[in-house]
Structure 1
Amino acid sequence: MIKDLLITNGNKLIQTYQSAPSAELIPFMQNISGLSYITLQLYNKDSKPLLDEKDWPLEVHPNDIERVLAGEKVSDMNKAARPHSDNAQLPVIGLPFQVDGQPYALFITLEKNSVDEELMNSIHLMYVIILFFGSFLILIAARYIVNPILRLTEATRRMAKGKFDVELPTKRKDEIGVLSVSFNEMAKELAKLDQMRRDFVSNVSHEIGTPLTSISGFTKALKQKQMNEESRLRYLTIIEEESERLSRLSQNLLRLSHLQHDNQPLKMSTYRLDEQLRRVVIALEPHWGAKEIDIDLQLEPLTVQADEDQLSQVWINLLSNSIKFTPVGGKILIEAVLKDNQNIISITDNGIGIPEEERADIFKPFHKVDKARNSSVKGNGLGLSIVKQIVDMHQGDIQVSGKLGTGTTFQVTLPK
Structure 2
Amino acid sequence: MRLLLVFFIGIVITVLLSYFLTNKLVTPLTRLKHQLKNIEQRKFKDIQPIQATGEIKEVAQSVYDMANELQRYINSQQTFFQNASHELKTPLMTIQGYAEGIKEHVFDEAEEEKGLEVMVHEVNRLKKIINEMILLAKLESEKQIYRKSNVDITYLLQQIKERVLPIVTEKQIAFHYESEPLMLVVDEEKLLRALLNLTFNAIRHANTTVVLKAWKHNSELYLTVEDDGEGIEDELMPHIFHRFVKGKNGETGLGLAIARAIVEQSNGKITVGRSPLGGAMFTIVFQI
- In structure 1, the residue matched to 2:258 is 386
Tell me by how many angstroms 1:280 deviates: 2.0
Change (3 A) 1:138 1:300: closer
The alignment status of 1:131 with 2:3, answered yes or no, reads no
Q: Is the 8 A contact 1:354 1:404 kept in 2?
A: no
Matched residue, 1:364: 242
Cα deviations by residue, 1:68-123 (Å, 9 ceiling, x for unpaired): xxxxxxxxxxxxxxxxxxxxxxxxxxxxxxxxxxxxxxxxxxxxxxxxxxxxxx22
Q: Which amino acid aligns with 1:241?
A: H
State the shift of 1:216 in Å.
Answer: 0.9
Over the matched positions of the two proteins, sequence identity in percent amounts to 25
Q: Pick from 92, 111, 115: which aligns with 1:235?
A: 115
| Amino acid across the alignment from 2:230 | I
Q: CA deviation at 1:173?
A: 4.7
What displacement does 1:178 show? 4.0
- 1:154–1:390 CA distance, 2 compared to 1 (3 A): same
Secondary structure at the aligned position of 1:267 is classed as: coil
CA shift in 2, pair 1:408/1:169, >3 Å: closer
Q: How far apart are residue 304 of structure 1 and its match?
A: 3.3
Match of 1:295 in 2: 175
**Superposition pairs for residues 131-170 of structure 1, below 5 Å?**
131-144=10-23, 145-170=25-50
Unaligned 5+ segments in structure 1 are 1-121, 371-376
| Corresponding residue SS for 1:365 | coil
Q: 1:246 to 1:147 in 2, by over 3 A?
A: same
The structure-2 alpha-carbon separation of the partners of 1:131 and 1:414, relative to structure 1 and needing over 3 Å to count, comes to: closer
Partner of 2:286: 414
* Paired position in structure 1 for 2:140: 260
Deviation for aligned residue 1:357: 4.3
What is the CA deviation profile of residues 22-79 of structure 1, one whole-angstrom value per residue up to 9, with x for unaligned ones?
xxxxxxxxxxxxxxxxxxxxxxxxxxxxxxxxxxxxxxxxxxxxxxxxxxxxxxxxxx
**Aligned-residue RMSD, C-alpha:** 2.6
Question: By how many angstroms is 1:195 displaced?
Answer: 0.5
> CA offset at residue 353 of structure 1?
1.2
Return the alpha-carbon distance in structure 2 between the equivalents of residues 404 and 296 of structure 1: 15
Label 1:337 to 1:226 Cα distance change in 2 as closer, same or farther (>3 A).
Answer: same
The residue number in structure 2 matching 1:205 is 85
Q: Quick one: distance in 1 between partners of 2:54 and 2:149?
A: 50
Structure 1: distance between partners of 2:106 and 2:78 = 44
How many pairs were matched up? 287
Check the 8 A contact 2:143/2:265 in 1, yes or no: no
Matched, 1:305 2:182: no
| Alpha-carbon contact 1:311-1:390 (below 8 Å) kept | yes
**What amino acid is aligned across from residue 237 of structure 1 in structure 2?**
E
**1:353·1:404 contact (CA, 8 Å) conserved in 2?**
no
Which residue of 1 is the match for residue 201 of structure 2?
321
Structure 2 counterpart of 1:41: none
Structure 1: distance between partners of 2:276 and 2:108: 45
Q: 1:274 to 1:203 in 2, by over 3 A?
A: same
Hey, what's the Cα distance between the residues in 2 that align with 1:319 and 1:146?
57
TM-score by length of 2: 0.88
Give the Å deviation of 1:348. 0.8
CA contact (8 A) 2:28 2:51 kept: no
2:225 maps to what in 1? 347
Are the aligned partners of 2:153 and 2:179 in contact in 1 as well (CA < 8 Å)? no
Q: Shift of the alpha carbon at 1:193? A: 0.9
**1:396 and 2:276 equivalent?**
no
* CA deviation after TM superposition for structure 1 residue 165, in Å: 1.5
Distance 1:405 1:302 in 2: 25
Counterpart residue type for residue 260 of structure 2: K
Judge conservation of contact 1:249–1:380 (CA < 8 Å) in 2.
Answer: yes
